[in-house]
Amino acid sequence: MPDLADALRTIPDFPKPGIQFKDLTPVLADPALFGQLLDALAAPWADAGVTHVVGIESRGYWFGAALAERLGAGFLPARKPGKLPAASVRATYALEYGEDALELHGQDLPDGARALVHDDVIATGGTAAAACELVEKAGGTVVGISFAVEIAFLDGRSKLPAGVPVEVAIVV
């Protein structure tokens, strides 16, 4: 079976000097690897009662919407500022290489929603922490956080809400 970790491509000095960029596009491009990664992402949450997956713009959409479908859950996009058309909740955060904000259509997260936050990569953890804040602001509960790749030395987990389960398919 092709190996997921081997398919991950590392691009040095992208998008800035000193960043080792973890590129998942080879996984997306290969149907067997794509399915293998979705299996790995979905398995830990099969019995978690997830009602909605919140995927983070933009690479969190690559696997997030498909993951939602596999879990029988809805999908909500957390978008960069000014992209969502309806009333939104907002959270700001710092990146490994910059600063940004995320917004969410809070009205689409019903009372009692059990949200799984998903992104492709956790680096410093600020992006995913902001997405968790969005879910809480919208009145939902974060029941888990899911990543395709964790860059372990950056210790992004320390920024995530305490006590919320985190599952990762590939740790580098």
Ligand X SMILES: O=P(O)(O)OC[C@H]1O[C@H](OP(=O)(O)OP(=O)(O)O)[C@H](O)[C@@H]1O
Residues that bind ligand ADE (CB under 6 A): 19-22, 96, 121, 123, 151
- Which of 123, 134, 149, 160 is in the footprint of ligand X by CB under 6 A? 123
Q: How many residues does the chain have?
A: 172
Q: Which does 20 bind (CB under 5 to 8 A by kind): ligand X, ligand ADE, none?
A: ligand ADE
Rounded CA-CA distance 143/163 in Å is: 10
Strand ranges (DSSP E) for 58-135? Answer: 74-78, 89-95, 98-104, 114-122
Q: Which does 22 bind (CB under 5 to 8 A by kind): ligand ADE, ligand X, none?
A: ligand ADE
In the complex, what is the shortest distance from the CB of residue 82 to ligand X, in angstroms, rounded to a whole number?
14
Q: Decide: is 156 part of the binding site for ligand X (CB under 6 A).
A: yes
Query: In DSSP terms, which residues pair with 23 in a beta bridge?
Result: 9
- Residues with catalytic roles: 59, 96
